[in-house]
Amino acid sequence: MNDSRFRKIREKLQQLGQEHVLRFWDELSEAQRAELAEQVEKLEPELLRHLRQLLREHLSGKRPRGDLEPVEMVRVPTTDEDRARHRRAQEAGEEALRRGKVAALLVAGGQATRLGYPGPKGTFPIGPVTERSLYQYQAEKIRALGRRYGVTPPWAIMTSPATDEATRRFFEEHDFFGLDPNRVFFFVQHTVPALDPEGKLLLAEKHRIAESPNGHGGVFEAIAESGVLDQLAELGVEVLFHFQVDNPLIKICDPVFVGYHVLENAEMSAKVLKKRDPYEKLGVVGKLNGKYAVIEYSDLTTEEMEARTESGELKYWAGSIAIHCYNVDFVRRVLATDEGLPYHVAHKKVPHVDAQGQPVTPEEPNAYKFERFVFDALQFAERAVFQEVLREEEFSPVKNATGADSPDTARRDLTRVFAEWLEAAGVEVPRGDDGAPLYPLEISPAFAEGPDELRQKLPAGFKITGPTVLE
Ligand code: UTP
């Protein structure tokens, strides 16, 4: 490496109080030096100062929060009037889909640390019977939309440096699951450095600064900077249906939700469900200082969590499940604001090398990561719709390796939903004493997406006598 490049990065690090990053310089190969130099060159001084400031505030416990109040919700329909309104929403959503105004937008840049799976989470085999991956389910759902509405929604997928290559390869190896590759758009989110409690950068390796993806809220800048937002707009897309990689019950581009969003002229909307109990760790929807918001579980007081209305219902019952619609124009508008989406600070385990160059795998959180959350964009929305949906039908995330919200619970929930569809289509489903289906069941979205379609497609006399796959 030439002297002047080295001097420049050393000076930059000195100015930022981070010279220790070059601690192992003498031991590095030329290629490793180049890699580290590039990372230092990319460091944004303003961002780093901002993160250090956030960390100081976080550590000093100063966390001002605004006044919280509930917001109006679209509830699960119970009356004829509700149902008529729901149908109108569905028709509006279907019309938007037929006219190609909706794209699916998946955020899949996370590191899936809790699941502990060695590949991107979307490649995880989640089929109750087969090895059908989360990605395959999603792709099949998108193809089913194409069958139904005559236009297959384009699919934008956000990856991160850690998941990008493996994700693209997975899609290529599976021929994009039958989708048109020209309508699948990958883009990579930014990363931000982790900091130790003193605000120092950590080295993941002697030649690499520890960085992590900047949160699912990184999607706004990443989709715009990559050019994908413009490409979607050129295709006529106006609404983005945002979802996460790990919920196999997701109704991608759900026409009812899209329809409410469109009919209400909303800029950003969210699906919500009833919290199981006051203490369930879900962010709740409300207004903070008069602006729409999702308030993280940890930012609620016990009083707020337990507060009830006159009818006895929780005042803040509506948990956000990270399913949103937002408009292409809204993304542009948020990006044009000075403040953008804030960073949140999280205490995490960050593997690193210590001052002696020894690798450390922490047992306890040792450093701070910074993430943006997409729901923070709600504060910029003039209009928003919050639609209640049923957990049993729409939400079963794969977060942990075992226990709650794990592959086991997701497969069980898939089987339960498929059993209900089959029964509604007139098929007898053998059930055990506990009422759960005796055999795992799997229905590809390419075969049917609900009882009506099933009824039309099932052969006469169809019986379940063991694990069953319909595809
Ligand atoms: P989670 O918060 O569940 O994180 O992400 P995760 O990375 O999947 O899992 P853990 O916390 O490491 O165990 C929710 C969704 O947001 C995406 C994830 O890919 C997932 O779809 N995400 C998260 C991003 O796209 N980028 C990020 O920086 C973080």
pLDDT at residue 179 in the model: 98
Whether ligand 1 lies within 6 angstroms of the CB of 246 is answered as yes
pLDDT at residue 303 in the model: 95
pTM metric for this prediction: 0.96
The rounded Å distance from CA 244 to ligand 1 centre is: 8
Residue with the smallest CA separation from ligand 1 atom 9 is 112
Cβ-count burial of 113 within 10 angstroms (0-12 exposed, 13-18 middle, 19+ buried)? exposed
Query: Closest by alpha carbon to 123, among 240, 114, 112?
Result: 112
Q: In angstroms, rounded to a whole number, what is the distance separating the alpha carbons of residues 340 and 347?
A: 23
Whether ligand 1 lies within 6 angstroms of the CB of 113 is answered as yes
State how beta strands 386-388 and 441-443 pair: unpaired
pLDDT at residue 339 in the model: 85
Q: Which atom of ligand 1 is nearest to the CA of 246?
A: 21
**Structural domains of the chain, with CATH:** 65-399 (3.90.550.10), 400-471 (no CATH)
- Identify the H or E element spanning 407: helix 407-424
Q: In angstroms, rounded to a whole number, what is the distance separating the alpha carbons of residues 151 and 235?
A: 11
- Answer with the residue of higher pLDDT: 460 or 149: 149
Residue with the smallest CA separation from ligand 1 atom 10 is 112
State how beta strands 343-348 and 367-372 pair: antiparallel
Q: In angstroms, rounded to a whole number, what is the distance separating the alpha carbons of residues 270 and 242?
A: 9
pLDDT band at 64 (very low <50, low <70, confident <90, very high): confident
The rounded Å distance from CA 314 to ligand 1 centre is: 28
The rounded Å distance from CA 282 to ligand 1 centre is: 15
Placement of tokens 């950068």 in the chain: 201
pLDDT at residue 1 in the model: 81
pLDDT digit string, tens, across residues 93-139? 999 999 999 999 999 999 898 999 999 999 999 999 999 999 999 99
Average pLDDT, whole number, for the chain?
A: 96
pLDDT digit string, tens, across residues 385-401? 999 999 999 999 999 99
Placement of tokens 């205490």 in the chain: 347
Instruction: Give the Cβ contact number of residue 456 at 10 Å.
Output: 9
Q: In angstroms, rounded to a whole number, what is the distance separating the alpha carbons of residues 92 and 196?
A: 50
